[in-house]
């Protein structure tokens, strides 16, 4: 039994629809392109979220360090402004309390000028 194979040539005939048999349909190409773009967008969003999370933790760490430093500075400020510290520094610099105090009383003509 012998088989005869016939090869036919398709020509673009006006009014006849072209078929896409054996070729990739344009809708499939568009679908693959949309899938590719959405995959890129997903990876970008995922990496951006991870980066923001890292930066957020770093900023929170910096904030906590600055709060601790602020607390220490407030304590040292309170110590520096305390009356006992001022008296101790006055004694270490050999300052004496004034014995003869003079107060200016009343409003004279000199005070208005």
Both tokens of residue 82? 């305390």
d(C-alpha 52, C-alpha 58), whole Å: 10
Q: What are phi and psi of 53, to 5 degrees?
A: -65, -40
The 8-class DSSP code of residue 16 comes to P
Reading the chain (113 residues) residue by residue, the pLDDT tens digits are 566 666 555 555 566 665 556 677 888 899 999 999 999 999 998 888 888 888 889 999 999 999 999 999 999 999 888 888 888 887 888 777 777 877 777 666 655 55
Q: CA-to-CA distance for 74 and 66, rounded, in angstroms? A: 12
The residue ranges of every structural domain in the chain are 28-95
Q: 82 and 88 in contact (C-beta within 8 Å)?
A: no
């Amino acid at each position: 039994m012998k088989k005869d194979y016939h090869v036919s040539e398709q020509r673009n005939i006006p009014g006849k629809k072209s078929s896409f048999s054996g070729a990739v349909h344009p809708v499939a190409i568009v679908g693959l392109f949309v899938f590719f773009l959405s995959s890129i967008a997903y990876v970008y969003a995922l990496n951006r979220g991870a980066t923001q999370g890292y930066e957020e933790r770093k900023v929170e760490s910096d904030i906590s360090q600055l709060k601790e430093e602020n607390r220490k500075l407030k304590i040292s400020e309170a110590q520096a402004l305390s009356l006992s510290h001022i008296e101790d520094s006055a004694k270490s610099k050999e300052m004496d309390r004034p014995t003869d105090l003079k107060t200016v009383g009343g409003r004279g003509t000199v005070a208005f000028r």
